[in-house]
Every structure is written in C-alpha cells, then in structure tokens.
Chains A and B, each alone.
Chain A
C-alpha cells in the first residue's frame, strides 16, 4: 500500500517534471542570472560609471534640479543612491505636458547620465516571471502553472525518496542511467530548502493574480475589488488634486520635518504629490535592504508639515509576505550571499536539466532497440537538448549583441532581446530536426561546442569594443567586468570539456554497436 503510493508519486514526478520542464528551465536560468541584474546593467552600459554616494551627498544636486525646473514640477519622486540596485540619483516626474519622465543624475555633479540604449540585466530578469512576446496576464498564468508543477515535482520527489539522506550520499559514478539519477538527486537534495523556498515564494509574488477569488469574495469583483484590497493591504497613498490652491512648504523644510521623525534612519526615497494644491502629500522612506523588508515610510501633509501616517515594520500576514518575498528576490543579500543564491539557483537549473536528460536516458535503450524510438521520444529529446543548450547560447548572444549592435540603431533594446530568441529558435530548429532524423548524438556534440564558442566570444568582443578588457578590469579592480568575463570563460570551458566527453562517449557507443549492437549500450549527456 505504502510503496504503491510511492510508485504513483514516482509516475507523477516524471510526468509533472517533464511537461513543464522547458518553461521551468527558462524560468530558473533567467532567474538565476537575474540575481546579478544590476551588475549586468552595469556591464551592459560600459561607458556609464556607477557611484556609491549617499542621500546627503546628492541633496545639493536635487535642489539644483528643482530650482531649474521651478514651478512646473507638481509631482515627482526621487530615489537616492543607496546600494547596488540604485547607484544613481534618479528623479521621476511629470513634465509640463504631464508626460512621465525619468532621469538619472550623477549624484555628485548633477550631470545627466545617458547610458547606451540597452535592455540590460533588468529585461533578462523580467523574462524570469514575465516571459516574452505575450500578454502579461497570460505569461503570469503560464509561470503560475509552471510553479505549481515545480512545487508538485518537489514534493513528489521527496516522497519517492524514503531514505533521502542515505541516497544523498550514494553516488554510483559511471553506471548510466544511475549516475544521472544520483546526480539529479544530489543536485536536488543539496539545495532542497532553497528549491522549496524559491518555488513557494514564487507563488506569493503572483498571489492575487493567480488566486483572486478569495479577495474578490471579500472586496468585490474585478479591478475595483483588487484596487480596494491593495489600497488597504499595501497602504498605498494616492491622493487626487483638489484644484484648490494652497501654498506648499519648501522641500528643504519638509526634509527637516522628515529628518526629525525618522530618528536617524537613512533616507532612501521621497515623493511629493500635487505641489501647491490643498491635497499635497510628502512621503519619505527608508531603505529596505534587510530580510524583513519593512519599507518604513512617513507621510506628511506637504502644506503644513503635519505627520499623517507612519508605517514601520509589518504585522501578521504582511510580515510573512515581505520576508518570503525578500527571500525570493534576495535584494538584501551581500555579495557572498548573492553568489550563494546564484550557485544554488544554478543547482536548481541543473536539477531540472538533469531531470530532462534522465527522462531521455531511461528511455534510450528501449528506443534504440526499436530502431530509434517513437516520434514523441525523438521530438522530446530534440526539445530537451534545444532548451538545455539554446537558452545559455541565447544569453551569450544577448551579451554579444549589446556590444556589437550599432549604438544608433533604432529599437536597439528590442534587437538585443531578439538576438537571444533568434539564437534560441535556431537551436530548437537544428536540435529538433536532427533528433527527428535520429542524429541527436551529433547535435549534442556540435551544439555544445557552439555554445562554448559563443561564451568565448563574449570576453573577446568585450575587450575589442570597450576599454574594459579582462586585464584592465583586474588592474582597475572593476569586479563586475571581471566577474562577467570570468563566468563566461568558465561556462565556455565547461562546454568544451562536456563536448569532448560527449564526443568520446558517443564514439565508444558507435564502436560498441558495431561489435555487439547489444542492449548494454552506454550513453551520457549533460546540460
């Protein structure tokens, strides 16, 4: 009875795992890279320096900016340079035509920074939950369903392994497919808490999009209900202008008021709404670079400086929500912890990848016996291999495109993203076509080498097109550029080693087949 349950869970694990593994692989890899989104932004705008200034450093710049804009500025918000996510002084405002503007300023000199047009690390990171080339809502649902599949695959995966810790130390090397199975288990168990955390918190980020019904039952249907709930839950302040004129206080006075109330907490952002109106609001907020992500904020009446509302910390479900959310996003993480996030993310990606490979390897012997396997089998192998190699190759291409696309190209950011997906699609076409033609082996080898080659190109192209070659970056201690180059070289090396290994195995296999054509055929491949 018990083992029957475990076996049914093994079945569920296999199919739940396979069905959405392609989407999950995409989500995991882009998400993992996304832990370094700001660093990639920096890398993709090589002419723009970054700064480590404080709010106090940049206050004169802000005042100067406000003085030049004068009375036109009714609504604006300012993000002070605080950490890696915000290295500039950023001001968003509505201009005279009430169009949204957003400018980045050098926090020391006030010089406007105009980075090259790039999709940057942010776009790559956004694809992690927003996908691409489809409406937002549909993308969210796909990601939500994929997350549920991931969650199920994780739970059933644990259920299958009664002796999870014993099996954790069992690695039967070289005996395929057990080696693949053990590798899959190793990668899964090693960072199992991370996988559970990242998957479950993934739900939380899309919570009310995926499951709006309970909210609707209490707050009403559609957008209105949603807005009502969000306004109450996330205590959003949006105040409409009344049209009645009333003079507002100077920003300097307001900042002094905020300073008195904030009791030494560093100012990270401020926003002013409806200057010169009866309903003018001034908000000041502190940094949220910690696990509890408390997003402290102070709301003032901008006309008399009266404190309207204070929000410090969270309670009940909100503290749960914000802690889990910051665990997922890892914005609080210091550099070593960020690398740990990156590595565990890679392990998760590897877990999905090895699961996909395992599915093929397990069906391989039978497929060969029946002369290449069914169409479904071959198609799946092709897709597996296309995803495992196509997406990494696409990301390399994305980085290369940033360097080689002409700067004056219109819609340059779009073409950066397109180059990722063009590469990806080309890989899918080649891999699936070859797999269907029963030449999956050669596709594995050649595409692995090609991916490695693309990763070698990244540092080379970077050295040619910018003044940040690896040597100079090391000398200047520009760790972002060193890091990207080092990671690319590492990936390239891994690809070459892997390609060699696969080549050897497949050749052995061909020889073996010539000798015996027997069932004891060897094969292995990797992501």
Chain B
C-alpha cells in the first residue's frame, strides 16, 4: 500500500489540508445554503442540513485523496467555497428582519 499519486510527504500533507480545511468549509457552507433553502420548518431545516454535513464531508475527503490533479482540485474547491460563501452571505442578509 504505497502512495500511488506521489510518494512525497508534501503531497500527503497538501491533500490532508485540502480534505480537512477545504472539505469542512465546503460541506458547512453547502449545508448552510441548504438550510436556508429547504422549504420546511426552520428547526427541521437546521436539523436535516446539520445531518447532511456528515455525509458531504467524508465524500469530499475521499474525493480530495482520490483526485488526480491536486492543483486543479484545490482551485475548483476554492471556487466552490467562495461561490457558496457568497450565496450564504446573501441568504443570511435576506433572512434578517428589515
């Protein structure tokens, strides 16, 4: 069981960082969006989307260790994070009483 992508420890570290930091940011933001958009009672929306985090996060972790081109993957994920962050920010603002 050798590292197939690259045996350098740097590669492992980069992928771990991508998985943990990128993965958690992505999954939390995605689920936060979902929690605003779900057309059900607020408390149930919160509960469902919190549960969803624990499905999305491991998927992203596996993806970041399995993907071939790390640089491409990192920039793709960063783009998604920024995009989702913007949407969340908008939704948070919309949700506030005027």
Interface residues of A (CB under 8 A from B): 1, 4-5, 7-12, 14, 148, 151-152, 155-156, 159, 200, 203-204, 207-208, 211, 213-215, 217-219, 229, 232-233, 315-318, 320-321, 362
Question: Are A215 and B1 CB-contacts (below 8 A) given A8-B66, A207-B51?
Answer: no
| Residue among B40, B48, B49, B54 facing the most chain A CB atoms (10 A cut-off) | B54
Question: Are A317 and B62 CB-contacts (below 8 A) given A211-B54, A214-B53?
Answer: no
Please give the distance in Å from A108's CB to the nearest CB on chain B: 43
Q: Are B43 and A207 within 8 A (Cβ)?
A: no
Contact residues in B for A155 (Cβ distance below 8 Å): 58, 62
Q: Are A229 and B43 within 8 A (Cβ)?
A: yes
Contact residues in A for B71 (Cβ distance below 8 Å): none
Question: Are A156 and B46 CB-contacts (below 8 A) given A211-B28, A213-B28, A214-B28?
Answer: no
Residue among A8, A204, A219 making CB contact with B51, cutoff 8 Å: A204
Residue among A7, A9, A218, A315 making CB contact with B62, cutoff 8 Å: A9
Residue among B3, B51, B57, B68 making CB contact with A317, cutoff 8 Å: B51
Interchain CA distance A9-B19 in the complex, whole Å: 13
User: Which DSSP category, helix, strand, loop or mixed, fits chain A's interface?
Assistant: helix
Please list 17 pairs of residues, one from A and one from B, whose beta carbons are closer than 8 Å in the complex, sorted by A's number: A4-B5, A8-B5, A9-B62, A12-B62, A148-B57, A152-B62, A155-B58, A159-B62, A203-B51, A211-B50, A213-B28, A217-B32, A316-B41, A316-B47, A317-B43, A318-B44, A320-B51
Q: Are B43 and A233 within 8 A (Cβ)?
A: yes
Chain A's closest residue to B65 (CB) is: A12
Q: Are A214 and B31 within 8 A (Cβ)?
A: yes
Interchain CA distance A200-B54 in the complex, whole Å: 8
Please give the distance in Å from A295's CB to the nearest CB on chain B: 16
Contact residues in B for A1 (Cβ distance below 8 Å): 68
Number of B interface residues, CB 8 Å? 32
Contact residues in A for B42 (Cβ distance below 8 Å): 218
Chain B 2-21 near chain A by CB (<8 Å), digits 1 or 0: 11110000000000000000
Please give the distance in Å from A202's CB to the nearest CB on chain B: 10
Q: Are A218 and B35 within 8 A (Cβ)?
A: yes
Interchain CA distance A203-B47 in the complex, whole Å: 12
Residue among B1, B40, B61 making CB contact with A316, cutoff 8 Å: B40
Residue among B3, B46, B57, B65 making CB contact with A215, cutoff 8 Å: B46
Interchain CA distance A232-B54 in the complex, whole Å: 23
B92 at the interface (CB under 8 A from A): yes
Contact residues in B for A208 (Cβ distance below 8 Å): 50
Q: Are A156 and B35 within 8 A (Cβ)?
A: no
Q: Are B58 and A8 within 8 A (Cβ)?
A: no
Q: Are A207 and B4 within 8 A (Cβ)?
A: no
Question: Are A211 and B58 CB-contacts (below 8 A) given A8-B4, A232-B43?
Answer: no
Chain A's closest residue to B27 (CB) is: A211
Please give the distance in Å from A192's CB to the nearest CB on chain B: 16
Interchain CA distance A233-B51 in the complex, whole Å: 15
Q: Are A8 and B65 within 8 A (Cβ)?
A: yes
Contact residues in A for B47 (Cβ distance below 8 Å): 207, 233, 316-318, 321
Within residues 52 to 78 of chain B, which ones have a CB less than 8 A from any CB in chain A? 53-54, 57-58, 61-62, 65-66, 68
Chain A's closest residue to B57 (CB) is: A148
Residue among B41, B50, B57, B92 making CB contact with A207, cutoff 8 Å: B50
Chain A's closest residue to B88 (CB) is: A217
Q: Are A214 and B65 within 8 A (Cβ)?
A: no
Contact residues in B for A316 (Cβ distance below 8 Å): 40-41, 44, 47-48
Interchain CA distance A211-B95 in the complex, whole Å: 21
